[in-house]
Chains A and B, each alone.
Chain A
Amino acid sequence: MVVDELGGEAVDDVFRALADATRRDILRRCAEGDPSVSRLAEAYPMSFASVQKHVAVLERAGLVSKERRGRERRVHTELAAVNRAQQVLDELEQTWRGRAERMSDLLGRRPNALNPNPEEETTG
């Protein structure tokens, strides 16, 4: 496992929130222009209550925040939180890259691929 940068529970909330296509779409829309929940609800073939629920999941994960503007509640994407989630994915990538390199070393043969990385991993 990769060691996470967000707290354990936070990570699970974030990934749970991101694991749904509608919620990812809501994030995209709210990054572009802080729509109100009722405006958002018009965009999806589901009830207002369902959209509200999705927004609540995103809010709990810290991925969006709600802001009162006049009579409306506008939904705003917290880009910093989205970026942190992406960093966790970057870490996962680095983990696998390191593993593949160690596997290659263990197999004991010099790989035929070009080495774009000047820092050679030392073994033994």
Chain B
Amino acid sequence: MSVTSIDKDYDNLTTTLVADFDAPVDEVWQLWADPRKLERWWGPPTYPATFEKHDLAPGGEVTYFMTGPEGDRPRGWWRVTSVDPPTSLRFADGFASDDGTPNEEMPMVNVEVRLSDRDNGTRMEIRSTYGSREELDRLIEMGALEGLQQAVGQMDALLAAGAGPS
């Protein structure tokens, strides 16, 4: 049992979980970043998850399905809004229709993951909030903006490297 605290805010429909692990931050990050590891814990034992697409980049898509005991396969998706390996990840998580497209009738959850170094281990904070469709659109916009800023940052770095010593 690694969960050290759980906080529920009914007004803002937010739950915050704090867990401490005896493993370095990089190792905990891999549980999110490696889809084969991710699918070993995302779904409950009765509904194991299989991840198909897994693009942890701003605006990136992640798609998965879970396999139930009766062979039922509820589908889900993430839309990544920001990512800063190995310490932070934000995404919206929602239900998908059978063809994998987001099901707009169903609620989605905004998830904020933060990993930090603590006593030679890792503290993981997860804040998840129920969001609306409007919020999703806004998040996607924000993610796209952030992606652009990152791309610009990479260009700066490339340009700086390319300039070399004169």
Contacts and interface: CB of A to CB of B under 8 A. Distances in A.
Contacts of B21: 103-104, 107, 109, 111
Interface stretch (B80-88, B99-107, B144-152): B99-107
Contact of A97 (B3, B28, B31, B93): B3
Contact of A107 (B10, B28, B44): B28
A109 B23 contact: yes
B74 A113 contact: no
Interface string B1-44: 11110101011010101011111000110010000010011101
Interface residues of B, number: 43
B38 to A, nearest CB: 10
Nearest to A19: B132
Nearest to A24: B11
Given A12-B132, A15-B107, A15-B132, A112 B3 contact: no
Interface stretch (B50-58, B123-131, B155-163): B123-131
B15 A93 contact: yes
Interface of A: 1-4, 8-9, 11-12, 15-16, 18-19, 24, 85-86, 88-90, 92-93, 95-107, 109-117
Given A19-B131, A100-B19, 7 more contacts: A8-B105, A15-B131, A16-B133, A19-B135, A96-B17, A97-B17, A103-B19
